[in-house]
């Protein structure tokens, strides 16, 4: 499986969780999609737009503002500047790297 395929799979899983009414499950998969998206600008931007949509649906205004601030940060992908493993949400600082989930590590190293 490629990084791109895994990215799209995580988005599909997030949509499945959304349809089932599992808000936390949806967010977990959107965060995983973000981790996979970081090396590719368009995917990185898309992941923040998906997270923005999640915040809007949840009426999580703090997360919505965080996503609006992070959208321009997607440009870092064009230059290889991004904190590896960062889930892309406000629970972790925008510039803070995190350990990679084991199952994603091979796709990103």
pTM as predicted: 0.95
pLDDT in tens, 33-91: 999 999 999 999 999 999 999 999 999 999 999 999 999 999 999 999 999 999 999 99
Where exactly are the structural domains of the chain?
Answer: 3-108
Tell me the C-alpha distance between 26 and 19, whole Å. 9
The whole-number pLDDT of residue 22 equals 98
Query: What are φ and ψ of residue 59, in 5° steps?
Result: 55, 35
The whole-number pLDDT of residue 101 equals 94
Residue 99 scores a pLDDT above 90: yes
Confidence category of residue 109, pLDDT binned at 50, 70, 90: confident
Measure the CA dihedral 57/58/62/66, to 10°.
-50
């Amino acid at each position: 499986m490629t990084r791109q395929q895994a990215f799209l799979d995580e988005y599909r899983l997030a949509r499945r969780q959304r349809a089932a009414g599992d808000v936390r499950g949806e967010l977990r998969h959107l965060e995983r999609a973000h981790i996979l998206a970081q090396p590719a600008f368009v995917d990185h931007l898309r992941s923040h737009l998906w997270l923005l949509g999640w915040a809007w649906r949840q009426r999580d205004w703090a997360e919505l503002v965080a996503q609006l601030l992070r959208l321009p940060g997607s440009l870092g992908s064009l230059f290889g500047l991004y904190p590896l493993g960062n889930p892309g949400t406000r629970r972790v600082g925008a510039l803070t790297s995190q350990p990679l989930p084991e199952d994603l590590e091979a796709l990103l190293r």
